[in-house]
């Protein structure tokens, strides 16, 4: 174990937290993962280890304590019946050994339940009086997106449960797309000139997040039910009983993929069997889920902050094949990052023909010591992204590969080194970056401009119709030129122009995300939009003001400030804001004069009526700032059960400590606002 100073550990925790949050956004929200599950698990494991060794660095909002990513702003937010946790997951058999040891220590000798782990999108369904009332995505585990109208379009999700009790019935499962339906959907998108989905999971996620349920209804979605959340309240004692009851109510339980048994041989045999026949199944799976069947035993075993102790996901190793490396080329991304890409003899990896694979950065090229002509082992990381994993057989003679380019391969601008990566410095005029920026700006989760996929953006840039982001809003002046393009016509041109026009007035968080500010994902864009009423206010904010925003911090604040300090970037952003006129969030304006405006709050102990994220969200919505530590700048500490040292420190500093009920009365307006008249008893410091 490497010895670290507290300062070095703090830097590494901040770095890991930023990386994990980014990858959460890419996977859960954008459905565009960049690393494999194994690489993600390694980052998370390192963070958990550092927080255990340096407990003071384990902040309340650490990604080690959270699941998924915050919900996007296009849908209403709903609080889950109970938190939707993730499962501890690895491809390493040691995970199963640890799980069996945990069961032995808990004295559990009952049956285990094993099901295939379908690679889709987890949702929660709430029925009342037997009718589907609410359906939501996982979101951040506590709060999800209300996608009820979209879920109603899926035939495998019953709208009515005959014979169900009158009270709530809470169901969870995976929305997925079968292989055949996925391939048919992509063929249709390609015929329309639209960009296809990378894999069935992305297709399912993108289909569920359509703002128009009529679009979702055209997608071949299915549903795999895996949990009756409130089974104990309904008088059921085991998971298999609960699943049988769901089958009686009309869900497709998939009894062929529901296995009960005991012991190591039972688990290893089924895992190996599913791995061997995974490509013959009608749906994609990436492992198996193993659960304690007895519900009372689950209750006794309890949960961690992210995952239950009574279940695991035993993943499959990435699919791998061997092929020949023919060349390494430099690829320039949206942010100017230059990535080495391996050109390969085409090879089938798990049903996908791979001829290009990422090498991540030039440090990875050196580590692999791969050369042209080598036989290399290629895998689909997370069964999605092709990458070169290792050299299988060197080729002689060994000819060294070129190092990182000194000039951008697209625009010939200088290349600058940034840590392990290299970047083209020509952010405003590099065609590769402009193309990437346009693709990002028009994407579904940004400004959602339909009909402008990668091929059409290439076409429009090649004809001089698009030169930068603001040029999108000048396309209406070139309507006849658009109609004359190959594959367009009047209808296509009018549809694209109408979609561009419809992007005006979109919410400020989506606009900020669309700008492509480095390190600003969907969650950070939303936090910024809550703090700053409009774009201009944000663009002028100083680094300290930015760093005070929840979820930002000094590193991201510096990145935002650097973005707006480049004159050409600021000018283009202002022009876009002038055209779009992004709508501020209502709560941002309200927060300016809310009852907690300007106050810094710390929550400690176990809250009875709110989860910690819900309480912090409530405080921010009323103008307050939620902090993880108590200091002289703290105005108020809200203490639940077993508050610990934070409450003691607050009292020693003269900071007022209140109960959860007092906090709720304050937020409901039943206590004196700190802005009305002389300070009330809750805000009198130093008494």
What is the spatial order of strands in the sheet that 131-137 belongs to? 131-137, 121-128, 169-177, 221-228
| Token pair 């009952």 in the structure block, residue | 110
Spatial distance between the Cα atoms of 61 and 64, rounded to a whole number of angstroms = 8
The answer, yes or no, to whether the previous bond of 436 is cis (omega within 30 of 0) is no
Burial class (CB in 10 A: 0-12, 13-18, 19+), 586: exposed
Residue listed under structure tokens 């300016």 = 592
Torsion of CA 179, 185, 191, 197, to 10 degrees: -80
Q: What angle do CA 331, 334, 337 make, to 5 degrees?
A: 50
Q: Which residues contact 507 (CB under 8 A, 6 or more apart)?
A: 73, 74, 529, 582, 583, 585
Spell out the residues 6+ positions from residue 493 whose beta carbon is closer than 8 angstroms to its own: 479, 482, 483
Active site residue 117: yes
Task: Give 200-216 as a DSSP string.
Answer: HHHHHHHHHT-SSHHHH
- What six digits make up the tokens of 77? 């937010």
Pair 64, 51: CB distance under 8 Å: yes
Structure tokens at 493: 């041109």
Q: Could you say which of 117, 315, 439, 625 is catalytic?
A: 117
Q: 464: exposed, middle or buried (C-beta count within 10 Å: 0-12, 13-18, 19+)?
A: exposed
Residue 549 CA: distances (Å) to CA of 403, 523, 524, 552, 621:
40, 12, 9, 6, 12
**Residues 87, 312 contacting (CB under 8 angstroms):** yes
Return left, alpha or beta for 139; rule: phi > 0 is left, psi -120 to 50 is alpha, else beta: left
Helix, strand, coil percentages for the chain (3-state, nearest 5): 40, 20, 40
Active site residues: 117
């Amino acid at each position: 174990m490497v010895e670290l100073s507290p300062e070095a550990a703090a830097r590494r925790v901040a770095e890991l937290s930023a990386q994990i949050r980014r990858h959460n956004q890419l996977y859960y929200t954008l459905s565009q993962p960049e690393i494999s599950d194994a690489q993600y698990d390694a980052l998370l494991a390192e963070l958990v280890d550092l927080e255990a060794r340096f407990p003071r660095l384990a902040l309340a909002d650490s990604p080690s304590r959270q699941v998924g990513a915050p919900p996007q702003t296009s849908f209403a937010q709903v609080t889950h019946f109970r938190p939707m946790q993730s499962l501890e997951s690895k491809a390493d058999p040691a995970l199963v050994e640890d799980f069996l040891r945990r069961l032995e220590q808990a004295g559990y000798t009952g049956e285990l339940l094993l099901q295939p782990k379908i690679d889709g999108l987890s949702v929660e369904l709430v029925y009342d009086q037997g009718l589907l009332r609410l359906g939501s995505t996982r979101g951040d585990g506590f709060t999800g997106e209300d996608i009820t109208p979209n879920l109603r379009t899926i035939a495998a999700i019953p709208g009515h449960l005959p014979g169900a009790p009158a009270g709530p019935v809470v169901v969870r499962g995976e929305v997925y797309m079968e292989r055949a339906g996925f391939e048919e959907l992509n063929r249709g998108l390609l015929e329309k000139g639209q960009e296809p989905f990378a894999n069935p999971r992305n297709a399912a996620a993108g289909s569920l997040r359509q703002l128009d349920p009529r679009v979702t209804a055209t997608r071949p979605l299915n549903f795999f039910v895996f949990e009756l959340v409130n089974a104990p309240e309904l008088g059921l004692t085991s998971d298999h009983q609960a699943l049988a009851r769901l089958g009686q109510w009309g869900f497709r339980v998939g009894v062929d993929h529901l296995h009960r048994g005991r012991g190591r041989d039972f688990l290893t045999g089924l895992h190996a069997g599913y791995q061997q026949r995974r490509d013959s199944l009608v749906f994609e799976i990436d492992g198996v889920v193993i659960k304690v069947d007895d519900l009372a035993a689950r209750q006794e075993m309890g949960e961690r902050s992210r995952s239950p102790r009574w279940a695991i996901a035993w993943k499959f190793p990435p699919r791998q094949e061997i092929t020949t490396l023919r060349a390494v080329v430099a690829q320039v991304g949206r942010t100017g990052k230059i990535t080495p890409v391996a050109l390969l003899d085409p090879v089938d990896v798990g049903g996908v023909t791979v001829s290009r694979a990422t090498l991540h950065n030039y440090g990875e090229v050196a580590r692999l010591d791969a050369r042209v002509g080598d036989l290399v082992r290629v895998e689909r990381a997370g069964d999605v992204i092709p990458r070169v994993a290792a050299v299988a057989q060197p080729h002689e003679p060994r000819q060294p590969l070129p190092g990182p380019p000194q000039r951008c391969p697209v625009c010939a601008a200088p290349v600058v080194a940034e840590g392990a990566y290299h970047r083209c410095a020509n952010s405003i005029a590099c065609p590769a970056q402009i193309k990437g920026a346009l693709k990002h700006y028009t994407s579904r989760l940004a400004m959602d401009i339909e009909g402008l996929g990668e091929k059409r953006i290439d076409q429009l840039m090649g004809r001089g119709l698009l030169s930068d982001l603001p040029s999108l809003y000048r396309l209406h002046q070139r309507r006849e030129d658009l109609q004359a393009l190959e594959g367009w016509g009047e209808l296509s041109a009018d549809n694209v122009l109408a979609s561009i026009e419809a992007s005006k007035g979109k919410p400020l968080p989506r606009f900020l995300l669309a700008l492509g500010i480095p390190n600003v994902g969907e969650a950070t864009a939303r936090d910024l939009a809550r703090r700053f009423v409009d774009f201009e206010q944000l663009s002028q904010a100083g680094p300290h003001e930015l760093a005070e925003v929840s979820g930002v911090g000094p590193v991201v604040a510096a990145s935002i400030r650097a973005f707006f300090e480049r004159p050409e970037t600021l000018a283009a952003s202002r022009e876009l804001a002038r055209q779009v006129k992004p709508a501020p969030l209502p709560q941002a304006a309200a927060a300016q004069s809310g009852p907690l405006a300007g106050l810094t709050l710390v929550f400690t102990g176990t809250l009875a009526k709110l989860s910690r994220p819900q309480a912090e969200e409530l405080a921010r919505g009323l103008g307050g700032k939620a902090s993880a530590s108590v200091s002289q700048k703290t105005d108020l500490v809200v203490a639940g059960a077993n508050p610990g040292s934070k409450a003691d420190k607050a009292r020693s500093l003269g900071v007022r400590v209140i109960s959860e009920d007092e906090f709720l009365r304050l937020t409901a307006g039943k206590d004196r606002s700190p802005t009305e008249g002389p300070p009330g008893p809750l805000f009198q410091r130093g008494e």
